[in-house]
């Protein structure tokens, strides 16, 4: 039943996404611009990290894609809530977990697709990284998307006024991006900023994907990355399912 229901909800939203080719490609524009117009600035700089500048930048851009894309996933459900679609689904016997999972897995599929486009463009720009590491990077994008999209739907269903949703998401996603070393590694940071960034879950994900891109799959960076990503996703899905169960307002 869990798989049947999840597949059903996933199918509905996947069809919705496929109808909108614009949505399929639009999300990749911002990271692509960073790649084109920011990436070349880094090529000659000492970044204090292993690997060349592309191996440092591309993991950051991948997670930036997930971070900004998935945190705004909730916008769609605000519209659906106003149309009554959320309630209509909540009175069917479909489980509450599938109502969430079907949606967030669609988001994960969308962002992994965009991540593939981004990596292909990066390879054309000069990125060289082991295939295993690149695939692990996609895995992290998927898990990050599941976690953030779950929280985004939960927030969107709970926020009293729709216009409060955007600012609330920005208030969280901007510092998350800056404090996790997405653009430049925190190895360059003064000690206080580095210490602060360790409080950000995304920091561990970025470090893990950067390690993967230089072929280091068994070090502490990977271990912490996997643990933080899995814990964060489990927590977020629990919160999201709860909101679908109760969905106040």
User: Quick count: other Cβ atoms within 10 Å of Cβ 20?
Assistant: 10
Q: Are 70 and 152 in contact (CB under 8 A)?
A: yes
Is residue 242 a contact point for another protein (CB under 8 A)?
no
- Binding another protein (rule: CB under 8 A), the pick from 46, 93, 167, 190 is 93
User: Which residues does 73 contact at the CB level (< 8 Å), separation at least 6?
Assistant: 103, 104, 107, 148, 149, 152, 153
Cβ-contact 141, 65 below 8 angstroms: yes
- Would you give the end-to-end CA distance of the chain in angstroms? 28
Residue 67 or 73 having the CB closest to another protein: 73
| 46 lines the binding site for another protein (CB under 8 A) | no
| Residue of 109, 226, 235, 247 that binds another protein (CB under 8 A) | 247
Q: Which residues of 27-41 are buried (b: 16+ CB within 10 A; e: fewer)?
A: bbeebbebbeeebee
Q: Does 8 bind another protein (CB under 8 A)?
A: yes
From the CB of 8, what's the least distance to another protein, in Å? Answer: 5
Please state the closest distance from residue 92 (CB atom) to another protein, in A. Answer: 4
- Which of 2, 18, 19, 29 binds another protein (CB under 8 A)? It is 19
User: By C-beta, is 2 or 135 nearer to another protein?
Assistant: 2
Which stretch, 11-19, 29-37, 142-150, 203-211, contacts another protein (CB under 8 A)?
A: 11-19
How many whole angstroms separate alpha carbon 223 and alpha carbon 219? 7
Asked whether position 199 contacts another protein by CB under 8 A, the answer is: no
| Span near another protein by CB under 8 A; candidates 84-92, 107-115, 137-145, 198-206 | 84-92
Shortest distance (Å) from residue 157 CB to another protein? 12
Calculate Rg over the CA atoms of the chain: 18
* DSSP output for 13-75: HHHHHHH-HHHHHHTTHHHHHHHHHTHHHHTTS--SSSS-HHHHHHHHHHHHHHHHHHHTTHH
Q: Does 89 bind another protein (CB under 8 A)?
A: yes
Q: Does 91 bind another protein (CB under 8 A)?
A: yes
Q: Does 80 interact with another protein (rule: CB under 8 A)?
A: yes
* In the complex, least distance from residue 15 CB atom to another protein, rounded to whole angstroms: 8
Q: Which residue in 23, 43, 82, 238 binds another protein (CB under 8 A)?
A: 82
- Dist CA 156 CA 225 (whole Å): 27
Could you say whether residue 41 binds another protein (CB under 8 A)? Answer: no
User: What is the contact surface with another protein in residues (CB under 8 A)?
Assistant: 4-5, 8, 12, 15-16, 19, 80, 82-85, 87-94, 246-249
């Amino acid at each position: 039943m869990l798989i049947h229901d999840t597949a059903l909800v996933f199918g509905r939203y996947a069809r919705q996404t496929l109808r909108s080719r614009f949505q399929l490609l639009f999300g990749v524009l911002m990271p692509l611009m960073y790649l084109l117009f920011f990436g070349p600035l880094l090529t000659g700089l000492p970044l204090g990290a292993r690997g060349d500048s592309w191996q440092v930048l591309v993991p950051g851009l991948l997670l930036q894609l997930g971070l900004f894309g998935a945190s705004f996933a909730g916008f769609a459900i605000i519209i659906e809530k106003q149309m009554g679609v959320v309630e209509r689904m909540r009175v069917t016997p479909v489980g509450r977990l599938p109502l969430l999972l079907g949606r967030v897995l669609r988001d994960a599929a969308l962002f992994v697709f965009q991540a593939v486009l981004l990596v292909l463009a990066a390879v054309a720009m000069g990125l060289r990284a082991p295939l295993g590491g690149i695939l692990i990077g996609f895995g992290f994008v998927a898990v990050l998307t599941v976690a953030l999209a779950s929280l985004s739907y939960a927030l969107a269903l709970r926020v009293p006024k729709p216009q409060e949703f955007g600012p609330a998401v920005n208030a969280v996603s901007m510092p998350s991006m800056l404090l996790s070393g997405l653009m430049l590694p925190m190895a360059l940071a003064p000690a206080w900023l580095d210490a602060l960034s360790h409080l950000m879950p995304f920091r561990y994900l970025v470090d893990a994907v950067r390690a993967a891109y230089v072929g280091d799959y068994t070090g502490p960076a990977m271990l912490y990355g996997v643990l933080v990503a899995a814990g964060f996703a489990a927590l977020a899905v629990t919160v999201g399912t709860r909101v679908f169960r109760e969905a106040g307002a």
